[in-house]
């Protein structure tokens, strides 16, 4: 059942758990996400990365999500545009049936960011679609520690931004970052998460959640992060399982068998992720 994303994140924030937001790249992964959520009785969100998805268009992904949402009506879920860059990106996603749009202009000053997102907020809210913005933002792995620390989200600024724009969620920088991150490399600022939760009147989102480890995920959810974007960790699990079967165990007799190997690894990793953030058993 497709619902507004902020409906899910508000419930999660109030109860101290997180919602998994995987970013599938094909129809098989969409199906696996629904199967996993149904088994775990977990509400969830599917994200579409606006500029990092060569496998399908936003419209194709939306069609796939709507297909499976109709077959799993017991699972409330949202469909979110991830890292849209413009009003036009938001409009296209809304037309396709997304229930949330992210307009990421965290490269701008807070004032310019707010100005850039205001029109998208008006459009989305008129269509009963929630809006996510970003302040600070998750760095990439090649960023230095100094660079990552320098872009941490400022809580008073985030509150001001939320009130000025009317957004429903803000992706905050609290120590995670995009890429093949080793658990010990990410320095999580739990005191900042607590301050943001107490200060900012909208849902908090964390990007770059792959490879953080169970403890960092669990604690971040308990302290106030309500949406956790994940992609690399799930894809890596499938790729490593396929590599192991093909190179170390004599291969597969069919593509169907190989697909099952990838599926089992992807689902197992998503299960662990949902469990870590307290997402499982919420229905």
DSSP state string for 106-167:
TTS-HHHHHHHHHHHHHHHHHTT-EEEEEES-PEETTS-HHHHHHTPPPHHHHHHHHHHH--
Q: Which of the following is catalytic: 6, 26, 82, 264?
A: 82
Residue 264 annotated to the active site: no
In the numeric block, which tokens belong to residue 158? Answer: 């985030």
- Residue 2: how many other CB atoms lie within 10 Å: 18
Spatial CA neighbour of 121 closest among 160, 80, 78, 165: 165
DSSP state string for 84-98:
E-SHHHHHHHHHHT-
3-state helix, strand, coil in the chain (%, to 5): 50, 15, 30
- Alpha-carbon torsion, ordered 181, 185, 190, 192, to 10 deg: -90
Task: Name residue 81's beta-bridge partners.
Answer: 48, 101
| Per-residue 3-state assignment (H helix, E strand, C coil) for 233-264 | HHHHHHHHHHHHHHHHCCCCCCHHHHHHHHHH
Alpha carbon separation from 107 to 6, 213, 263 (Å, rounded): 24, 28, 36
State how far Cα 155 lies from the chain centre. Answer: 21
Q: Which residues are catalytic?
A: 82
């Amino acid at each position: 059942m497709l619902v507004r994303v902020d409906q899910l994140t508000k419930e999660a924030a109030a109860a101290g758990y997180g919602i998994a937001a995987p970013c599938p790249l094909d129809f098989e992964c969409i199906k696996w996400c629904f199967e996993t959520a149904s088994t775990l009785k977990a509400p969830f969100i599917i994200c579409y990365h606006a500029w990092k998805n060569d496998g399908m268009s936003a419209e194709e992904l939306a069609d796939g999500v709507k297909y499976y949402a109709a077959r799993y009506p017991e699972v409330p879920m949202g469909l979110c545009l991830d890292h849209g860059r413009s009003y036009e990106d938001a409009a296209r996603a809304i037309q396709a049936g997304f229930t949330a749009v992210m307009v990421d202009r965290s490269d701008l000053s807070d004032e310019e960011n707010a100005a850039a997102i205001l029109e998208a907020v008006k459009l989305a809210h008129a269509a009963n679609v929630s809006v996510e913005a970003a302040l600070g933002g998750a760095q990439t792995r090649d960023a230095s520690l100094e660079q990552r620390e320098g872009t941490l989200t400022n809580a008073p600024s985030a509150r001001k931004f939320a009130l000025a724009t009317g957004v429903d969620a803000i992706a905050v920088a609290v120590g995670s970052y995009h890429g093949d991150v080793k658990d010990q490399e990410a320095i999580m600022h739990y005191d900042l998460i607590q301050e943001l939760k107490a200060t900012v009147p909208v849902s908090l989102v964390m990007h770059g959640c792959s490879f953080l480890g169970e403890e960092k995920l669990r604690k971040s959810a308990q302290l106030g992060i309500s949406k956790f974007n994940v992609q690399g960790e799930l894809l890596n699990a499938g790729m490593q399982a396929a590599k192991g079967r093909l190179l170390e165990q004599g291969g597969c007799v069919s593509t169907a068998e190989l697909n099952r190997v990838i599926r089992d690894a992807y689902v197992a990793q998503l299960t662990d992720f949902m469990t870590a953030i307290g997402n499982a058993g919420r229905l």
